[in-house]
Chains A and B, each alone.
Chain A
């Protein structure tokens, strides 16, 4: 009786070893599948155009740092990088703040219109940008925002609200009401309660929403494609695509622009991997 399990275990030891190696191999292959193309892109961003053809996958013989300085001037990154930073920062801050206010205002379901407004905001997730963008274009032009960065900031603020309300309302509803009541008894105004008590308590949720909205606003392509027609008001994804339209053989510049546009998000991600993963997943699972 005792020898049979013994035998089984020695077989499975070998099996475990093979299985473990195979599993590691799968993970390594998957990681290479992700990192390989990124590695080649970084290499490519330092190559001169002829080297793309003579020496496709080796390291560049001569590292063309000036691809980056030329991307800064010729591919207009000197305009589109600051634009992207300004648009994303302002829109994320305002949108998250407004979404928190809405979430707090709607967090008590028994209040007037709370459920209806909540549903309305969340339904905004389904609105296709394609349908509203030309009316938006007409409105922005009529009020004189077209041709300024506000033509992107204002729509982004509004389009960030549905996800923000979706993620933040349950968090606001779970806040301890005693704290709010106590503050009210002490004579705090509703606004003071919101700023001093509600906002700090909701900080983890706020960070999730800020990351969630920040990533799509930084990366958004379609909205600026329609609403930002010149480099002075474009963000990087559109700037790069319109650059490639005019200099389609300057591959080194294209890839250095792509690296510059991606690097800030990657650095933020590497510094706050956990918050990015849980923040983005929180929005996705609830959405």
Chain B
């Protein structure tokens, strides 16, 4: 009788492959939405298809070769790089400093922490509109405020001057992403063993020395995570530019980033006629960008991780 109630032993097949039943449903979604379109996109990138109609022919790697000498691609990549470097500096200075201040457990710490992280959960579209309200030439509040306090000469057309438009994009991105650096550094700081700091203090190190020699090296995993995160985030910039300066990256492409360039090339911006849409070329740019970003990410992680072990 007991023999009958026992489950029958699993077959050889289900022992070896049974776990894959759990993977299958998700994998089908993944296949249909990510893998097949990606393979299709790779095929398209070797044609001259405009995205509409059946007019296409195979051009091999010509699209990729063209990108190498395509000036707007470098211009857009340069803007992404500027945003990346500026945000990186911002995160590792102001973000780190705010995290250090919060780690000292000031009064209302919970309040500051909640507030400073708040923009992270907001959409970039909402963030863009918030700063449109502050900086727009029509309804912006910053210019009238500057005039009210006698600094009217500083007022400007922030979003339409080549010199300030990209800075505004950086500023708004910094506003939206500051919470990341604070929370990541804060959890890093909270993991620094108290004994380490006490031991250093016993040895006569001052606060500054303790921070730079003892605490900061312990933060290198946070530094790595934040750098990679910032890299991926800034090179995917799209929404903020779309809302603040439009899909053309106004003024005169001064804020054009890879996201908007690829979008315009593949799908057409507002002022582009359909004749100028080159879907295949846009897809080639997106794929090239993916490969280069993956390589840089991999390199960044390797360099920063090796630094972690030494530290």
The reply to whether chain A is a binding partner of chain B is yes
- Hey, which bits of chain A sit against chain B, CB under 8 A? 20, 23-24, 26-27, 30-31, 33-35, 37-38, 40-41, 44, 52-53, 56-57, 98-99, 101-102, 104-106, 108, 111-114, 117, 121, 124, 126-128, 130-136, 138-139, 154-155, 157-159, 161, 165, 184, 187, 190, 194, 215, 218-222, 226, 237, 240-241, 251, 254-255, 258, 261-262, 265-266, 269-270, 273, 276-277, 280-281, 284-285, 287
How would you classify the secondary structure of chain B's contact residues: helix, strand, loop or mixed?
A: helix
For the complex of A and B, 6 pairs with smallest distance between CB atoms: A105-B22, A219-B123, A158-B33, A135-B37, A98-B26, A131-B286
Contact with A along B1-32 (1 / 0, CB 8 A): 00001110000000011111111011101101
Asked whether, in the complex, the Cβ of A56 is within 8 Å of the Cβ of B141, the reply is yes
Asked whether, in the complex, the Cβ of B20 is within 8 Å of the Cβ of A128, the reply is no
Asked whether, in the complex, the Cβ of A218 is within 8 Å of the Cβ of B139, the reply is no
Listed A/B pairs (22) with beta-carbon separation below 8 Å: A33-B175, A37-B133, A105-B21, A127-B38, A128-B236, A128-B262, A130-B259, A131-B283, A131-B287, A134-B41, A135-B36, A135-B44, A139-B36, A154-B29, A194-B22, A219-B125, A219-B126, A221-B124, A255-B129, A269-B121, A281-B187, A287-B229
Asked whether, in the complex, the Cβ of A27 is within 8 Å of the Cβ of B141, the reply is no
A261 — which chain B residues lie within 8 A by C-beta? 123, 125-126
A276 — which chain B residues lie within 8 A by C-beta? 117, 121
Given contacts A34-B119, A99-B26, A121-B30, contact A128 B290 (CB under 8 A): yes
* C-alpha gap A214/B98 in the complex (Å): 27
- Hey, which bits of chain B sit against chain A, CB under 8 A? 5-7, 16-23, 25-27, 29-30, 32-34, 36-38, 40-41, 44, 51, 97-98, 101-102, 104, 106, 111-126, 129-131, 133-134, 138-139, 141, 144-145, 175, 178, 180, 183-184, 187, 221-222, 225, 228-229, 232, 236, 238-239, 242-243, 259, 262-263, 266-267, 279, 282-283, 286-287, 289-290, 293-294, 297
Give the distance to chain B from A194, nearest Cβ to Cβ, in Å.
7
User: Of A104, A106, A139, which is within 8 A of B37 by CB?
Assistant: A139
Among B29, B138, B180, chain A packs the most CB atoms within 10 A around the CB of B29
Asked whether, in the complex, the Cβ of A135 is within 8 Å of the Cβ of B125, the reply is no
Considering only CB atoms, which chain B residue lies closest to A286 in the complex?
B225
Considering only CB atoms, which chain B residue lies closest to A126 in the complex?
B294
Asked whether, in the complex, the Cβ of A254 is within 8 Å of the Cβ of B141, the reply is no
* C-alpha gap A53/B229 in the complex (Å): 40
9 other contacts beyond A41-B130, A219-B124, A285-B222, with CB at 8 A cut-off? A30-B98, A53-B138, A98-B26, A99-B26, A105-B23, A155-B33, A158-B29, A237-B239, A258-B129
B297 — which chain A residues lie within 8 A by C-beta? 126
Asked whether, in the complex, the Cβ of B239 is within 8 Å of the Cβ of A222, the reply is yes
B283 — which chain A residues lie within 8 A by C-beta? 130-131, 134
